Structure 1
Amino acid sequence: MPELPEVETVRRDLVPFLTGRTVHAVSVSRDRAVRRQPHPDFIAALRGRRLTDVRRHGKFLIVDLDSDDALVVHLRMSGQLRVASPRDDLAKHTHVVIDLDNESQLRFLDPRTFGEMFVDEVDAGRRPLALRGLGPDAVNDKLSASAFHQMILGGRTTSTVKAALLDQTTLAGVGNLYADEALFAAGVHPKRLAASIMGAEAAAILKALRRILLAAIKARGSSFPDEGYVDAYGKPGGFALRHQVYGRAGQACPRCGNAIEKTVVAQRGTHFCRRCQA
Structure 2
Amino acid sequence: MPELPEVETVARSLEAQLLGRTIVGLAKLDWPRMLTPPAPDFAALVAGRRIEAIGRRAKWLLLTLDGGWTLAIHLRMSGHLLVAEPAAADAPHVHFALDLDNGRRLIFDDQRKFGRVHLLDQQGLAMLDAAHGPEPLADGFTPEVLAERLRDRRAPIKALLLDQRLIAGIGNIYANEALWLARIHPLTPGGSLAAEHITALHHAIRVVLAEAIANQGSSLRNYRDGYGRRGSQQEHFNVYDREGEPCPRCQTPVERMVVAQRSTYVCPQCQVRVGN
Q: What is the CA distance between 1:89 and its match in structure 2?
A: 6.2
Q: What is the CA distance between 1:127 and its match in structure 2?
A: 4.1
The answer (yes or no) to whether the contact 2:6–2:213 under 8 Å persists in 1 is yes
Equivalent residue of 2:86, what SS?
Answer: coil
| Structure 2, unaligned runs of 5 or more | none
Query: 130, 134, 137: which one pairs with 2:135?
Result: 137
Q: Would you say how many aligned residue pairs link Structure 1 and Structure 2?
A: 271
Give the alignment's Cα RMSD to 1 decimal. Answer: 1.4
Letter in 2 for 1:25: G
User: Could you list the runs of 4 or more consecutive aligned residues of structure 1 that deviate by over 6 angstroms after TM superposition?
Assistant: none
- Counting only pairs closer than 5 Å after superposition, residues 125-274 of structure 1 correspond to structure 2 as 127-153=125-151, 155-157=152-154, 159-224=155-220, 227-274=221-268
Residues in 2 aligned to 1:269 and 1:141: alpha-carbon distance in whole angstroms: 31
1:52 is the counterpart of 2:57: no
Q: What is the CA distance between 1:131 and its match in structure 2?
A: 3.3
Q: Paired residue for 1:100? A: 100
Residues in 2 aligned to 1:272 and 1:181: alpha-carbon distance in whole angstroms: 9
TM-score for both structures, normalised by structure 1: 0.94
TM-score for both structures, normalised by structure 2: 0.94
1:196-252 deviations in Å (ceiling 9; x for gaps): 11111111111011011111101000111xx21111111110111100000111111
Q: Paired residue for 2:41? A: 41
The answer (yes or no) to whether the contact 1:96–1:108 under 8 Å persists in 2 is yes
Range with greater deviation from structure 2 (83-92 or 39-48) = 83-92
Q: Paired residue for 1:31? A: 32
Q: What is the CA distance between 1:269 and its match in structure 2?
A: 0.6
Q: Paired residue for 1:65? A: 65
Equivalent residue of 1:195, what SS?
Answer: helix
The answer (yes or no) to whether the contact 1:15–1:53 under 8 Å persists in 2 is yes
The answer (yes or no) to whether the contact 2:32–2:38 under 8 Å persists in 1 is no
Residues in 2 aligned to 1:152 and 1:108: alpha-carbon distance in whole angstroms: 36
Letter in 1 for 2:175: A
Q: What is the CA distance between 1:32 and its match in structure 2?
A: 2.8
